[in-house]
Structure 1
Amino acid sequence: MNLTFWSDFNCPNSYIGLKRITDAARELDLDYELNMKPFELYPTLFDSPTSSMTTEYVLKYGITPQKAQELISEIEDIAVHDGLKINYKDLQISSSRNAHRLVKYVKNNHPEVSNDIIFKIYEANFMENEVIADIDVLTKISVCLGLDEDEIRNMLSGDFYDFEVQLDEEEAISMGVEAIPLYIVSIKQEQLTIPGAYEKEYFKIALEDMINGEIESKTFL
Structure 2
Amino acid sequence: MSGPSDREHRVRVDDARIETERLVLRRWSTNDAAGDVAVYGEDEVARWLAPAMETVPDSDAMARVLGRWIEECSRLEPPAGRWAIELSETGRLVGGAAILPLPPDGVDLEIGWQLARPFWGRGLATEAGHGVAHYAFTAGVDEVFAVVRPRNTRGIATARRVGMEWVGETDKYYGLTLQVYRLREGDLDVPPLPGRRSLAEGA
TM range (shorter): under 0.3
TM-score normalized with structure 2 length: 0.27
Please report the TM-score for the alignment, with normalisation by the length of structure 1.
0.26
Select the structure that is richer in helix: 1
Judging by fraction of residues, say which structure has more strand: 2
Q: With a CA cutoff of 8 Å and minimum separation of 6, indicate the structure with the bigger relative contact order.
A: 1
